[in-house]
Structure 1
Amino acid sequence: MVDIATRVHNRKWKIDPIVRSLIDTDFYKLLMCQSVFRNRHDTQVTFSLINRTHRIRLADLVDEGELREQLDHIRTLSLSRGESTWMRGNTFYGKRQMFTPEFMDWFEALRLPPYHLEKRDGQYELTFEGAWPEVMLWEIPALAVLMELRSRATLADMGKFELQVLYARAMTKLWQKIERLRHIPDLRIADFGTRRRHSFLWQDWCVQAMREGLGTAFSGTSNCLIAKNRDLEAIGTNAHELPMVYAALAEDDTALARAPYDVLADWHEEHDGNLRIILPDTYGTRGFLTHAPDWLTQWTGIRIDSGDPAAGAELAINWWKSRGEDPREKLVIFSDGLDVEKIEELHSQFAGRVRVSFGWGTLLTNDFRGLVPGEGLAPFSLVCKAVAANGKATVKLSDNPEKAMGPEAEINRYKRVFGVGQQERVEVVV
């Protein structure tokens, strides 16, 4: 077992770069990257860092030189032989050769493109521009770097014994959560915590604790490097990025209304089974389901990622029933702002009505709340999103207007096209 406190205390060790592999990323990123490589290879996309928690002034906390050093290191990374063998030869979701030889040849030669970084009003403006398959792979490592550098800054003045006590308390806190989760019958839960983790070493420890504490109830991790190293299932499907870019490329309102379904039509050609999971909330779940083509009712399930999760699940259940499907055979994955209490509540409410699963993120891999004074280690909402495609702004509406993004005029247009009315605001914690 790694002595995390000692490694943090000796943080200058070159053994601990924040991102140590191109597959130190979420599995859905690689799946989406292959889809983009196949269908939209030449699309030019801009990604940008967005700090939703404005009171956290990252540029005042994180040293620019250290940030550049970590980002520059990521640009030197390439797939190792073992990583390539794992991707080419492993079975994912019951499918061998998930990644095509053409995609793997491209990925093995890839180095991530340049970045642009500057400070503005206490925040970092960090952007990535270029071909979509290349720049999309910056999202997860960029977030991981900023989150861990912020953690390192908070821990910088702590002595070795103080760090030992801190991590012992954090381990105890997580283990107490695991003990509560053990009592949930037929639980299915996975680690979704890469993007806002406290650190790589801490995420790796959390995954090992979940595996030992929950056994078969722990279905795997979204982090590909940890999945490979710990012989676990790599978990993930697709994300809002796909419909956001497809929508931005739409030539008129008719094409815009069709874009979220065009995304899934392309996905349908490539994947089956548990990879056919609908993420319906990019432009409002209710409207998406109302206008969804009948072939989508055959998909395996739905991921609920914004708004009131119970309301979202009820919408999905009613939709399946209205289309002649048995919801008890469908999968609902909850993945937004989860902690133990919410997991217990949602499982109790929906078990037996649907197949219930959870993707547990930030409050699994970065819950140090109350363990140091102030909010120096408290999680916050940091994202890195596609903000433009071929020069046109992207838009996300979400089921929670607090997560909406894009130019105001375009947001209003998208609301009109997708029939989005009044929405309930929900505080975004992580």
Structure 2
Amino acid sequence: MIVNLARRAHDHNWELDPITRSLLDTDFYKLLMLQFIWKHFPDTRATFTLINRSQEVPLGDIVDVRELREQLEATRKLRFHKSELIWLAGNTFYGRRGIFEPAFLHWLEHDFRLSDFDLSIHEGQISLRFDGLWTETTMWEIYSLSAIDELKTRASLKKLTELELDILYARAKTRLWEKMARLRGVPGLTVSDFGTRRRHSFLWQEYVVKAMSDVLGENFVGSSNTFMAYTHDLEAIGTNAHELPMAMAALADTDEDLQHAQYRMLELWQQTYQGELLIMLPDTFGTTQFLENAPDWVANWTGQRIDSKDPFLAGDEYIAWLRQRGRDPQSKRLIASDGLDVDSIIALHAYFGGTILDGAAPTDFYGAEDFLDSSRWTPEHRIRFSSGWGTYLTNDFRNCNPRRDDGFNPVSLVCKLSEVDGRPAVKLSDNYQKAMGPPAEIERYRRIFGTAGVANVPVTV
């Protein structure tokens, strides 16, 4: 069924179109991490806090706080449906059935609840905080981000006539088609939807996911959105996030325990999951220090996801580290996921897929029309590479507004772990601009972990 997005936007009623329709409407890794938390940290308390890194955008003045409260309260009342739990129990994820334990699924059905929240407006920005058991707060991350992003979208949609809405969506669809056309048929390319947290709207993400599946075929390998995977028979994509090592570091009592926390998290994760779910995210406190100090068994993990570091540099660093540890990079997986768009997806695929001629630089393929000429490709890949396409897949309405204002531009909005059992949580990342936590704690963590390989790069999404 083709949805008339302009008409639906024009007639928006939140009771007809609640932003979160199902508790599965979240990134798959949140469910995997929820089971991990339920299993290993059932009594730990955690606080999540909203942060708008695009401070020039006064979200508190754009989003109606009463509507946001209503949407969050509606989400809080949701429960997992029996059919959803049967799908989680019986479906094959990453080639394995039974990833979710029966006891965990029983808990989801009978005992899972979302915590209360504290919502207000402060100096033009939304102040939003979730506090409670970690099992009650962790899932709020995606629900809150998608709610705020869509309410921002709806506020801008209300300013447009139906004709202007038609033009807006026609331009966005054309842009999406042009992007897909460049990716269609690229040999060996794999790309997945990672766009839930910053999507234009639920309906637009669903439209995009169906279009990607129809146009790209086997090159489109799935969605991180569990509900999209559930309703459209797609692979659910995702593993783990910064939240876990941040929490374990916060709980550490000594500097030595703090430094080891990032590996202790991996020890617990591999007690819970295997195979393709053993994808590490090493940049929580800096990728370079993580790899330099990692125990040898870490090199047995299936792969690595790159977030805050230049993906070309991070990928080369990982490949060199694998070779130094005596592992074959061609057997490993590398996933890039931060701020990708079609040019970077093509260039990264060429660079790490071993598909460019010797001596060519990755930037040679940015926008290159002859990239699709397979005669220029070399047959051997360096590593199994895939792209997680987020904001610029599900929320690229830049310059699509016929009124030519920037109300539809995406903002860099995050909801991050801020406290664990009353202790501050810290994230350093590979980008100084993305560091989070109390300044004194950030400095303490930098003394312990160092700053090797960390850059100072503007944050766009």
Q: Same fold (TM over 0.5)?
A: yes
Q: Give the Cα separation in 1 of the matches to 2:219 and 2:317.
A: 26
Q: Give the Cα separation in 1 of the matches to 2:16 and 2:298.
A: 46
Q: Give the Cα separation in 2 of the matches to 1:159 and 1:336.
A: 34
Q: Give the Cα separation in 1 of the matches to 2:38 and 2:228.
A: 24
Map 1:94-133 onto structure 2 (within 5 A): 94-109=95-110, 110-133=112-135
Q: Give the Cα separation in 2 of the matches to 1:324 and 1:112.
A: 45
Given candidates 148, 163, 183, the residue that maps to 1:146 is: 148
Map 1:198-213 onto structure 2 (within 5 A): 198-213=200-215
1:404-426 Cα shifts (integer Å, max 9, x gaps):
01111111111111122473211
- The SS at the match of 1:49 is strand
Aligned to 1:349: 351
Given candidates 391, 406, 420, the residue that maps to 1:362 is: 391
Aligned to 1:188: 190
Given candidates 426, 433, 443, the residue that maps to 1:412 is: 443
Q: CA deviation at 1:81?
A: 1.7
Q: Give the Cα separation in 2 of the matches to 1:184 and 1:375.
A: 33
Q: Give the Cα separation in 2 of the matches to 1:155 and 1:225.
A: 25
> Which letter maps to 1:325?
R
| 1:302 maps to 2:331 | no
Aligned to 1:290: 292
Identity %: 52
Q: Give the Cα separation in 2 of the matches to 1:270 and 1:124.
A: 36
- The SS at the match of 2:417 is strand
Q: CA deviation at 1:338?
A: 0.1
Map 1:3-402 onto structure 2 (within 5 A): 3-12=4-13, 14-109=15-110, 110-351=112-353, 352-372=381-401, 373-402=404-433
Aligned to 2:357: none
Q: Give the Cα separation in 2 of the matches to 1:292 and 1:422.
A: 16
Aligned residues between the structures: 430
Q: Give the Cα separation in 2 of the matches to 1:422 and 1:235.
A: 28
Q: What runs of 5+ residues in structure 1 fail to find an aligned partner?
A: none
Q: CA deviation at 1:96?
A: 1.1
- The SS at the match of 1:282 is coil
Q: Give the Cα separation in 1 of the matches to 2:251 and 2:257.
A: 9
Q: Give the Cα separation in 2 of the matches to 1:423 and 1:300.
A: 24
Q: CA deviation at 1:95?
A: 1.4
- The SS at the match of 2:139 is helix
Q: Give the Cα separation in 1 of the matches to 2:34 and 2:352.
A: 33
1:10-51 Cα shifts (integer Å, max 9, x gaps):
101622101111110000000000001000111110000000
Q: Give the Cα separation in 1 of the matches to 2:45 and 2:213.
A: 40
- Give the TM-score taking structure 2 as reference length: 0.92
Q: CA deviation at 1:183?
A: 4.4
Alpha-carbon contact 2:205-2:394 (below 8 Å) kept: yes
> Which letter maps to 1:406?
G
Q: What runs of 5+ residues in structure 2 fail to find an aligned partner?
A: 354-380
1:102-144 Cα shifts (integer Å, max 9, x gaps):
1111111223111101111100110000110110010001000
> Which letter maps to 1:381?
S
1:343-376 Cα shifts (integer Å, max 9, x gaps):
1111121111111100000100000001112210
1:140-162 Cα shifts (integer Å, max 9, x gaps):
01000000000100110222222
Q: Give the Cα separation in 2 of the matches to 1:93 and 1:344.
A: 24
- The SS at the match of 2:79 is coil
1:298-326 Cα shifts (integer Å, max 9, x gaps):
11110000121111111101100100011
Q: Give the Cα separation in 2 of the matches to 1:252 and 1:353.
A: 39
Q: Give the Cα separation in 1 of the matches to 2:326 and 2:89.
A: 39
> Which letter maps to 1:205?
Y
- Give the TM-score taking structure 1 as reference length: 0.98
Q: CA deviation at 1:182?
A: 1.5
Q: CA deviation at 1:169?
A: 1.2
Alpha-carbon contact 1:128-1:135 (below 8 Å) kept: yes
Q: Give the Cα separation in 1 of the matches to 2:450 and 2:73.
A: 44
Q: Give the Cα separation in 2 of the matches to 1:254 and 1:244.
A: 15
When the two chains are superposed, the root-mean-square deviation of aligned CA atoms in Å is 1.0
